[in-house]
């Protein structure tokens, strides 16, 4: 495994790999790796000749009151995990390497952002799209792997790839969960043991929504009301939203007659948790998520 910290070196390496007709898989992360990330890496290894992992806490996607400085970081641990999972290259640039000057161009994401987490994080997905455009060029990847825990991000990245004509295939990977059902997240370290146990009810409420749909309920208003009542009875945290949209367009619907996402955000004292489930119109997991 090789650690690369400069853009020029990474570009030279990927140019050489492309000349050798290697299929490059790419897993972009902000580090503090957990089982969700390693599942992406393992899937990348299955489908690619070469696996590139990036670790870069991207300042462009943090708002003024968000947790950029306190975002968990552990470079030594991340390197060891990457080795254990047969990563070929870690691209680990500094902020100064990625953004040496004030950017003259930034991407603006118009659709799929004014709902769910994007509604309260203005500019967040502009930062995601901007850094990914750079990383796609630097890594020259053929495949890119994202976890469906942040399904809104997957939808936005799909739009970026399609609209900007990137020759990269997006591979969405299902959410990795703890035994309790809680979605794995770098921010779970901020939960107390009591909060962590309680938060398993988030996935329970998504399964309740799935059952409602499977039993024939197709009115999103009724489903949201019943799921809200279910979750309020289980947790003490603030429920930020429980929403249902079509997917990946993320538009409001009056009747569930297509693929949808049911998404939840919950705010604990020191951690904001998100989770979701994507279903077809009958309440089943779809064959394709995008």
The binding site for ATP comprises 30-37, 147-150, 176, 184-187
Which positions make up the binding site for beta-alanine?
61
Q: Which residue of the set 16, 37, 137, 287 is catalytic?
A: 37
> At residue 41, what are phi and psi to the nearest 5 degrees?
-60, -45
**Residue 233 CB: number of other CB atoms within 10 A?**
9
Question: Starting from the edge strand earliest in sequence, which strands make up the sheet with 272-279, in order?
Answer: 238-246, 260-267, 272-279
Residue 44, CA distances (Å) to 3, 25, 37, 50, 145 in order: 18, 6, 11, 8, 7
Q: Which of 229-233's residues contact partners 24+ apart within 8 Å by CB, and which partners?
A: 230/204, 230/205, 231/201, 231/202, 231/205, 231/264, 231/266
CA atoms within 13 A on the CB side of 190: 14
3-state helix, strand, coil in the chain (%, to 5): 40, 20, 40
Q: For residues 61 and 21, give the distance between their C-alpha atoms in angstroms, rounded to a whole number.
A: 33
Secondary structure (3-state) at 166: coil
Please indicate whether residue 137 is annotated as part of the active site. Answer: no
Spatial separation of the C-alpha atoms in residues 246 and 255, rounded to whole Å: 10
As annotated, the binding site includes 30-37, 61, 147-150, 153, 176, 184-187
Query: Terminal CA-to-CA distance of the chain, rounded, Å?
Result: 32
Which residues belong to the active site?
A: 37
């Amino acid at each position: 495994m090789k650690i690369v910290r400069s853009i020029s070196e990474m570009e030279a390496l990927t140019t050489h790999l492309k000349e050798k007709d290697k299929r490059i898989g790419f897993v972009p992360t902000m580090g503090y790796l957990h089982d969700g990330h390693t599942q992406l890496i393992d899937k990348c290894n299955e489908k690619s000749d070469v696996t590139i992992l990036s670790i870069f806490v991207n300042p462009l996607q943090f708002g003024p009151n968000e947790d950029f400085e306190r975002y968990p970081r552990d470079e030594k641990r991340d390197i060891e995990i990457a080795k254990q999972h047969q990563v070929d290259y870690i691209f680990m640039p500094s902020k100064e390497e990625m953004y040496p000057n004030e950017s003259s161009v930034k991407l603006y994401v118009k659709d799929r952002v004014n709902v769910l987490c994007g509604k309260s994080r203005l500019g967040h997905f502009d930062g995601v799209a901007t850094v990914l455009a750079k990383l796609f060029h630097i890594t020259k990847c053929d495949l890119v792997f994202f976890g469906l825990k942040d399904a809104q991000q997957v939808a936005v990245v799909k739009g970026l790839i399609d609209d900007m004509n990137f020759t990269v295939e997006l591979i969405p990977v299902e959410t990795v969960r703890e035994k309790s059902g809680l979605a794995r997240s770098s921010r779970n370290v901020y939960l107390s043991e009591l909060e962590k146990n309680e938060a398993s009810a988030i996935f329970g409420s998504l399964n309740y929504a799935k059952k409602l749909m499977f039993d024939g309920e197709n009115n999103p208003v009724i489903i949201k009301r019943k799921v809200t009542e279910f979750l309020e009875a289980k947790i003490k945290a603030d429920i930020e939203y429980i929403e249902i949209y079509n997917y990946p367009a993320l538009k409001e619907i009056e009747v569930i007659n297509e693929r949808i996402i049911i998404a939840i955000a919950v705010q604990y004292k020191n951690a904001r948790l998100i989770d979701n489930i994507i279903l077809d119109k009958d309440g089943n997991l779809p064959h394709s998520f995008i």
